[in-house]
Structure 1
Amino acid sequence: MTQQHDLLHWYEASLPQRERKLRGHFSTPPRLVEQVLDACGYTSDVDLSGIRVLDPACGSGNFLAAASRRLLSYGREAGVSARVSARYLHHNIWGFDPDPIACMLAELQLHETFKDNYPRSRALRHLHIHQADGLAFPWQQRGHVDLFLANPPYLAAKNNDLSGYRSTHQRGQADSYLLFLNLALQIVRPGGWIGLVLPDPVLARSNATLERQRLLTETTIHHIWHLADVFAAYVGAVVIVAQKTPPPIHHQISWKRERWIDTAARAANKDNLPLQVMTTVSQQQLGQQPGAELRYLLSTIKGTIIERLQHQLHMQIDPQAPRTLACLGEYVVIRRGEELGKDSALLKGSAPHPDDLKWYPVLRGGIDIHPYAIPAATCWIAREQVLKPLHRYLAPKILLVKSAGRLQATLDVQGHVVLQTLYMLQPVVNPNPTIQTAFSEEDELYFLMALLNSRILQDYLYALHTAYKWVQPQIEQHVLAQLPIPAQAAYEEKEQIIARARLLMHACSKSSSVVELKAQSYELYEEQERAICALYEIALQQRQVSDPPRDVIDEGVSLYG
């Protein structure tokens, strides 16, 4: 077994990182494989002799080898001969992969597993490990797979041609892992089991809506495990364990969210990491989400102001009734900056001569933007390299970090040029006449910045949207446009929030020399939080909300593509 393990490790280690990413070759850790098999009920203390197992993207065979060990263990406990056990493996363990070396390694694992159990037997001659594309196989016989296991390659449609698969022609292209999820729903028999290791965008990304809808209606989902650091790839992993049977009305899905640590570290708990306690969420509640999103954190916000806000945003309302909540997209147009990377050669690190008006300071993203802090640029760009209308940058604007799991907003009144990693929020040209306009445009921006930096909207965005992509999360423009905003704040309360926001800008900025104000910033922030929370509580009492006008959202999309 040691020689076998070394060979498997050598093959994976010999692949360059870029090649592994292009091919989606990242093997499932053995401990995670065992946990998936346990969750699917594939254990040696039950009769496994008639359970057909398929891994249509088997790679070097980690799932199949673990299943084989359990099948052979069952055979030994049942007292069957080596020949019968070999027949079990031949009939029940199936794997496909287009990589010939991976197939060879998978066969080697299965042969070594059989040899460990029956060292003197030569009964195992043929295995169903096939060098073939599991998605392209003609699956005329449906419903004959009892256990579908896969950690399919994470290949995005935008970077790979997947048009050759029939299912992509039915609704446009889909990322490769969604094709495997579709395959599982197609060929697993009623009552059979599905154990999939998928990238975490499947939890909430819009291109997976149809698959999630089918999963929630056609299967009973028993487990959702959201894991970070499982693979040496820039993506979080989601394990979905489901049974091919419609869910009971009150079924609860067990979920956990944690960082993956190896067996030795977990046993010793060397990192002193808290182990995630299992929590549950209603499958029916997930099915009622607008895009059937698997928002498992809904169970953690039950009864909170976050849940009430989410509920109100999806209510049908009387358009003639007065509103207490609006959406951010009614107040501002949301755009991105220059389509340049932060390391672009067009950016200069040294400031030009003060009299040179052909250069402008540039803000690059989260590295230059912090909540409430006055932004300070360390890079410059030539005027002729600025492709988007310059007046957008020179006007006052809220800046918000795009590639982040939580809201980070500040106000720029200094006319910085910004890169695409930042959103610019500027007042709409023709604001809705029902929205109060007693304050100046700059005051309104201070007010909105304070809301965006509040715990309420921080938690709202995280629990409902950004938590479901653990690695490199991003705040999508349409999500930002639909954040709930109190529409009828009393003048005095709003004036005080604006005043505190101005004070916090100075308190949180490096350039501030007011020591006493810095020392009081925590109390100031807490006072701001209480005031904002009170605004939302008042707004929720009347239970009225509207969706943002489509022309406002579309204008922002068209302006930055």
Structure 2
Amino acid sequence: MTANETVSWYESGLPTRERKTRGHFSTPPALVEQILDACNYTPACDLSQIRVLDPACGGGNLLAGAAQRLLAFSKEANLPQKKRLSLIQHNLWGFDPDPISCFLAEMQLRTLLSMDDSLNERRPPSPLHIHQADGLAFPWEQSQPVDLFLANPPYLAAKNNDLSCYRSSWQHGQVDSYLLFLDLALRIVRPGGWIALILPDPVLARANATHERRTLLRETTIRYLWHLSGVFPAYVGAVVLIAQKLPPPAMHQIAWRRGRWQRDATVEAVPDAIIPVHASAITQASLYRQPGAEMRYLLSDACSPQHLLARRLHEFLCEVPIKENPVFAPLNSLALIRRGEELSKDNALLLPEATGDREECYPVLRGGVDLRPYEKPTGRYWIKREAIKKNLERYCKPKLLVVKSTGVLQAALDLDGHVVLQTLYMLLLRNEKAQGDDLYFLLALLNSRLLRTYIYMVQTAYKWVQPQIEQHVLGHLPIPTAATPEKEKIVAYARKLLAVCGDLSPVVKLEVESKEGGSKAELEWQAIYEEQERAICALYQAALTEGRLIPEFPDKGVSYG
């Protein structure tokens, strides 16, 4: 068994709960190789002066990858044996609070040295700089700057771990552990040095990472951003950030890739690799100008009319905040947004049929499983009156329902007074006198390709596992305010779609394109939906054009200051 296989064996033997609690997921060796290539840490370069630090080294996969390249460089440079050993001693540093992880990391390095045929002395140097210590608590200000900060830090949420001892004066809200390591890298890497971090994908857009993103985008030149699924057996996607600690040139482009991590240890011809779903580039300045410096890389990937219009819409809203906007109103100014009962869909309080006094039982919608756009929702479970904790009057009113735990915006109209669970948002119109048209208008917008693309590009795409539409994001969706002929058309089309949808079995999905051979009802549904889409795009284009003509809101431009 190789040293790397021993590390894998140790990790796989840990209980799942303990692995999650400790954030114990090692980096695949193939990904280590790609990261080192991206940092120009290759045997063809002079590696003799590059000090490598992994402050959360775990079993040592990242350090082992660096050690192999350092040995290859020293062999190519024909350095004396003593010099080769000293390079390993002085250039590679690892910290971890877990003693077993430190033992495994040192074993990996010593195994590499013992297997190197160019070293006559098989007894590896002592000591190696693998330390059982908290890398976040070390007094780095008293040591030499780091040349290459190489880390896959644990993802420990502050809500489940006491991280208060690390809190800095500027930090607010939830401070997760990976943000502390990102902050450490930004502080201790020398000018011109490299930062290579594997982070959970909430770093891309979550509000609590705003300060770190702004500092990263302002003070470093990000070379690569890889957003990957399937790297670790954990409920989170991975983001690989490769950056050089240099102020970014004005028009610098970040190369980004979005894809699945392919694992195949049994077939040598198919090594571990990134299988890209998308790949492109985006200017670093355009990320810095985002309201919270969000790394919305998909804004560069405009490949359809909906993508182009969604990007224009987002750019306009970055210049003119929605609360100051004369042509758009936030959705929450038109509708009260509330969640349903705080119960899971398999809760024992949900009954498969009405029991006892039927008048005291209410039909329940459990979530996206019971909702289809433009289809009348039907509750297949029931709940007793005494089990309902929230305002029953709200459930009885006409309302729109939006699925929360999804990456795709979708809404349904409920006119039958269903009780709903917390996996659904309820939208109750603030102006009850305008119930009819406004309900159908919002139903159409919330199921449109345009707003679905907008939500995906600015929020849900940046969380691979269990994406969710946050309530504040839904509440700030831009709704055109002008009364136009397009709005009247949209309302009429939405009413028609609801009528036609009842004749479809199964319901036609919104993604479907017009095709020959469908039933009469399907073809009619598709034709109406496409007409509605054209009207919605025309409505938003007109609002954007009007907004651009208003002189009080000039383009604010971009500054890294």
Alpha-carbon shift at residue 314 of structure 1 (Å): 2.8
Query: Within 5 Å, which residues of 2 pair with 1:150-549?
Result: 150-167=151-168, 171=172, 173-262=174-263, 275-276=276-277, 278-301=279-302, 304-316=308-320, 323-352=326-355, 356-429=358-431, 440-490=434-484, 492-509=485-502, 516-543=520-547
CA distance in 2, matches of 1:3, 1:310: 51
- For the 8 Å contact 1:324–1:544, the answer to whether it is kept is no
Partner residue in 2 for 1:549: none
Alpha-carbon shift at residue 489 of structure 1 (Å): 3.3
Partner residue in 1 for 2:511: none
Which amino acid is 2:489 matched to? Q
Which amino acid is 1:8 matched to? V
Alpha-carbon shift at residue 544 of structure 1 (Å): 6.2
- For the 8 Å contact 2:173–2:208, the answer to whether it is kept is no
Indicate the structure whose relative CO is greater, using CA pairs within 8 Å and at least 6 residues apart: 1
TM-score by length of 1: 0.90
Partner residue in 1 for 2:513: none
Secondary structure of the residue aligned to 1:360 is: strand
Compared CA separation, residues 150 and 509, structure 1 to 2 (3 A): farther
Q: Cα deviation per residue 1:496-533 (whole Å; 9 max; x = unaligned)?
A: 32232123224435887997434421122111111111
- For the 8 Å contact 2:322–2:330, the answer to whether it is kept is no
- For the 8 Å contact 2:99–2:132, the answer to whether it is kept is yes
CA distance in 1, matches of 2:116, 2:92: 16
Q: CA RMSD in A?
A: 2.7
Compared CA separation, residues 171 and 536, structure 1 to 2 (3 A): closer
TM-score by length of 2: 0.90
CA distance in 2, matches of 1:513, 1:24: 43
CA distance in 1, matches of 2:317, 2:100: 52
- For the 8 Å contact 1:324–1:545, the answer to whether it is kept is no
Partner residue in 1 for 2:554: none
CA distance in 1, matches of 2:77, 2:29: 25
Alpha-carbon shift at residue 539 of structure 1 (Å): 1.5
Which amino acid is 2:255 matched to? S
Secondary structure of the residue aligned to 1:8 is: helix
Partner residue in 1 for 2:557: none
Secondary structure of the residue aligned to 1:164 is: helix
Partner residue in 1 for 2:556: none
Partner residue in 2 for 1:126: 127
Gaps of 5+ in 2: 508-518, 551-561
- For the 8 Å contact 2:38–2:242, the answer to whether it is kept is yes
CA distance in 1, matches of 2:429, 2:281: 41
Partner residue in 1 for 2:74: 75
CA distance in 2, matches of 1:545, 1:132: 60
- For the 8 Å contact 1:228–1:259, the answer to whether it is kept is yes
Alpha-carbon shift at residue 373 of structure 1 (Å): 1.6
Q: Cα deviation per residue 1:152-207 (whole Å; 9 max; x = unaligned)?
A: 00111111110122537854551000000000011111111000000000000000
CA distance in 2, matches of 1:264, 1:40: 25
Q: Cα deviation per residue 1:414-472 (whole Å; 9 max; x = unaligned)?
A: 10111111011111159xxxxxx8xx303211110100100110111111111111111
Secondary structure of the residue aligned to 1:520 is: helix
Residue-pair matches, total: 534
- For the 8 Å contact 2:504–2:522, the answer to whether it is kept is no
Secondary structure of the residue aligned to 1:314 is: helix
CA distance in 1, matches of 2:391, 2:62: 55
- For the 8 Å contact 1:317–1:544, the answer to whether it is kept is no
